[in-house]
């Protein structure tokens, strides 16, 4: 980390611009700032999951590692041309995902967000992750983005979905299934 902040406010952003990690300035509503800002929001929602009861030690360690990687991803997105997320990070997510998913029963219905506080917070993290992925894709339409960024977020949203299922079951609340049959009208 180059410069340490001794003063939190600088007033340089009062004009609606912000500094990127390479020193260049862009509008605060640019595609790049939206992408790394949403990754930051995702990191915060994972912090909410970590603050909940019901996480086993492995899940806590996994999500803490994800927070570090999301900080790396934010840095990669904040510094054009920077590479911090690696294929090995994505491979690790897949291994953890498989370990948590294998003992779960196959899904036959969609799941509603819910299933206790930890599962609900994890569902929120999952949806923010999907938005972060969309923001990275939008950035990739106007500037260069490494494919690892998008792949990492895609795999992370899958992992978060599986963790939602695990947390809902562990809490005793269980998974909340979408009742698609409730809309069917009896034949007249």
DSSP notation for 76-99: HHHSTT-----HHHHHHHHHHHHH
Pick from 122, 131, 121, 68: which is nearest to 100 by CA? 122
Q: What is the pLDDT of residue 20?
A: 66
**Strand ranges (E), the chain:** 17-19, 25-27, 111-112, 176-177
Q: What confidence tens digit (pLDDT) does each residue in 124-159 have? A: 999 999 999 999 999 999 999 999 999 999 999 999
Give the per-residue pLDDT at 112: 87
Res 1: pLDDT: 47
CA pair distance 177, 107, nearest whole angstrom: 10
pLDDT digits (tens, 9 = 90+) for 48-85: 999 999 899 999 999 999 999 999 999 999 998 899 99
């Amino acid at each position: 980390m180059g410069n340490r902040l001794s003063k939190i406010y600088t007033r340089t952003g009062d004009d609606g611009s912000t500094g990127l990690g390479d020193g260049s300035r862009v509008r605060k509503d640019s595609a790049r700032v939206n992408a790394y800002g949403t990754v930051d929001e995702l990191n915060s929602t994972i912090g909410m999951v970590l603050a909940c009861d019901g996480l086993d030690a492995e899940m806590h360690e996994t999500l803490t590692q994800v927070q570090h990687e999301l900080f790396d991803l934010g840095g990669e997105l904040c510094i054009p041309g920077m590479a911090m997320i690696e294929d090995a990070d994505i491979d690790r997510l897949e291994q953890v995902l498989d370990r948590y998913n294998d003992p779960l029963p196959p899904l036959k219905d969609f799941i509603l967000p819910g299933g206790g506080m930890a599962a609900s917070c994890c569902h929120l993290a999952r949806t923010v992750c999907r938005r972060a992925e969309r923001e990275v894709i939008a950035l990739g339409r106007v500037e260069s983005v490494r494919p690892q960024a998008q792949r990492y977020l895609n795999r992370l949203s899958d992992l978060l979905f599986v963790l939602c299922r695990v947390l809902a079951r562990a809490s005793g609340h269980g998974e909340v299934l979408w009742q698609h049959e409730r809309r069917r009208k009896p034949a007249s």
